[in-house]
Structure 1
Amino acid sequence: MKQSYNNTYILGISFISALGGYLFGFDFAVISGALPFLQQQFGLDAYWEGFATGSLALGAIIGCLVAGTMADKYGRKKGLLLAAAIFGISSLAMALAPARDFFIAFRLVAGIGVGMASMLSPMYIAEVAPAHLRGRMVAINQLTVVTGILVTNLVNYTLRNNGPDAWRWMFGLGIIPSLLFFAGALWLPESPRWLVKVGRSEEAGIILEKIGNAKDALGIIERSMNEKLNVGPAFNKAVLPAVFIGIILAIFQQLCGINVVFNYTPRIFQSIGVSQDGQLLQTVFIGGVNLVFTLLAMVLVDKLGRKPLMLIGAGGLAILYIIVVRMLAAGSANVSWFLLAAIGTYAMSLAPVTWVLISEIFPNKIRSAATSIAVLSLWAAYFVLVFTFPILFERLKDSTFYIYAVICVLGFIFIWRNVQETKGKTLEELEDVIVRH
Structure 2
Amino acid sequence: MMQAEVAQAEYRPNLGYVVTVVVIASLGGLLFGYDTGVIAGANEFLKSEFHMSAATTGLVSSSIDLGAMLGVLIAGFLGDSFGRKKALSVAGIIFIASSLISAFAPSVGVLVLGRFIGGVGIGLASLLSPLYIAEIAPPRIRGRLVGSNQLAIVSGIFIVYFVNAAIVSSHTTAWNQTTGWRWMFAMGVIPAVIFFFLLFLVPESPRYLMKRGREEQAISILERVSGPERARWDVEEIRKSLEVVPDSLFQELSRPGIRKALGIGVVLAIFQQFTGTNAVGYYAPMIFKAAGAGTNASFYDTVWIGAIKVIFVIVLMLIVDRVGRKRLLVWNGMLMALFLAILGVAFSLPHMITWLVLALVFAHTIAYELSWGGGVWIVLSEIYPTAIRGRAMAIASFALWFATYLVAQFFPILLQAIGGTWTFWIFALFCIAMAVFMQRVVPETSKKTMEKIQSDWLQSERGSSL
TM range (shorter): over 0.9
Q: Which residue of 1 aligns with 2:37?
A: 29
Q: Which residue of 1 aligns with 2:293?
A: 274
Which residue among 110, 115, 118 is the counterpart of 2:126? 118
Deviations 1:93-134 (A, max 9, x none): 111111110011110000000000000000000000010010
Pairwise CA RMSD: 1.2
Which residue among 383, 387, 393 is the counterpart of 2:405? 383
Which residue among 342, 349, 356 is the counterpart of 2:364? 342
**Structure 1 residue 230: Cα displacement:** 6.5
**Structure 1 residue 65: Cα displacement:** 1.1
In the alignment, does 2:241 pair up with 1:224?
yes
Q: Which residue of 2 aligns with 1:327?
A: 346
Note if contact 1:318-1:409 (Cα within 8 Å) is conserved in structure 2. Answer: yes
Question: Which amino acid in structure 2 is aligned with residue 104 of structure 1?
Answer: V
Which residue among 20, 38, 41 is the counterpart of 2:28? 20
Q: Which moved more, 1:263-272 or 1:336-345?
A: 263-272
Q: Which residue of 2 aligns with 1:104?
A: 112
SS at structure 1 position matched to 2:322: coil
**Structure 1 residue 276: Cα displacement:** 1.1
In 2, the alpha carbon distance for the partners of 1:280 and 1:412 equals 32
Note if contact 1:17-1:185 (Cα within 8 Å) is conserved in structure 2. Answer: yes
Rate the CA distance shift 1:430–1:230 in 2: closer, same or farther, 3 A. farther
Note if contact 1:363-1:435 (Cα within 8 Å) is conserved in structure 2. Answer: no
In 1, the alpha carbon distance for the partners of 2:261 and 2:47 equals 42
In 1, the alpha carbon distance for the partners of 2:292 and 2:444 equals 45
In 2, the alpha carbon distance for the partners of 1:45 and 1:337 equals 30
Q: Which residue of 2 aligns with 1:318?
A: 337
Question: Which amino acid in structure 1 is aligned with residue 364 of structure 2?
Answer: A
Rate the CA distance shift 1:413–1:10 in 2: closer, same or farther, 3 A. same
TM-score after normalising by structure 2: 0.92
Which residue among 371, 378, 398 is the counterpart of 1:356? 378
SS at structure 1 position matched to 2:118: helix
Rate the CA distance shift 1:228–1:118 in 2: closer, same or farther, 3 A. closer
Q: Which residue of 1 aligns with 2:314?
A: 295
Question: Which amino acid in structure 2 is aligned with residue 425 of structure 1?
Answer: K
In 2, the alpha carbon distance for the partners of 1:129 and 1:225 equals 19
In 1, the alpha carbon distance for the partners of 2:259 and 2:244 equals 18
**Structure 1 residue 66: Cα displacement:** 1.3
**Structure 1 residue 433: Cα displacement:** 1.2
Which residue among 59, 69, 94 is the counterpart of 1:61? 69
Question: Which amino acid in structure 2 is aligned with residue 24 of structure 1?
Answer: F
Q: Which residue of 2 aligns with 1:235?
A: 253
Q: Which residue of 2 aligns with 1:368?
A: 390
**Structure 1 residue 62: Cα displacement:** 0.7
**Structure 1 residue 228: Cα displacement:** 5.6
Deviations 1:25-52 (A, max 9, x none): 0001100001111111111110011110
Alignment of 1:117-156 (within 5 A): 117-156=125-164
Question: Which amino acid in structure 1 is aligned with residue 430 of structure 2?
Answer: I
**Structure 1 residue 364: Cα displacement:** 1.1
Q: Which residue of 1 aligns with 2:206?
A: 192
Question: Which amino acid in structure 2 is aligned with residue 216 of structure 1?
Answer: W
In 1, the alpha carbon distance for the partners of 2:37 and 2:380 equals 23
Note if contact 2:219-2:232 (Cα within 8 Å) is conserved in structure 1. Answer: no
**Structure 1 residue 306: Cα displacement:** 0.2
Question: Which amino acid in structure 1 is aligned with residue 265 of structure 2?
Answer: G
SS at structure 1 position matched to 2:374: helix
In 2, the alpha carbon distance for the partners of 1:175 and 1:232 equals 37
Note if contact 1:242-1:435 (Cα within 8 Å) is conserved in structure 2. Answer: no
In 2, the alpha carbon distance for the partners of 1:300 and 1:92 equals 39
Q: Which residue of 1 aligns with 2:221?
A: 207
Question: Which amino acid in structure 2 is aligned with residue 242 of structure 1?
Answer: A
Note if contact 1:54-1:387 (Cα within 8 Å) is conserved in structure 2. Answer: yes
TM-score after normalising by structure 1: 0.98
Q: Work out the number of aligned pairs and report it.
A: 437
In 1, the alpha carbon distance for the partners of 2:220 and 2:32 equals 31
Question: Which amino acid in structure 1 is aligned with residue 405 of structure 2?
Answer: F
Deviations 1:289-308 (A, max 9, x none): 11111111001100000000
Of all paired residues, the percent bearing the same amino acid is: 37
Q: Which moved more, 1:69-78 or 1:155-164?
A: 155-164
In 2, the alpha carbon distance for the partners of 1:198 and 1:155 equals 43
In 1, the alpha carbon distance for the partners of 2:288 and 2:198 equals 39
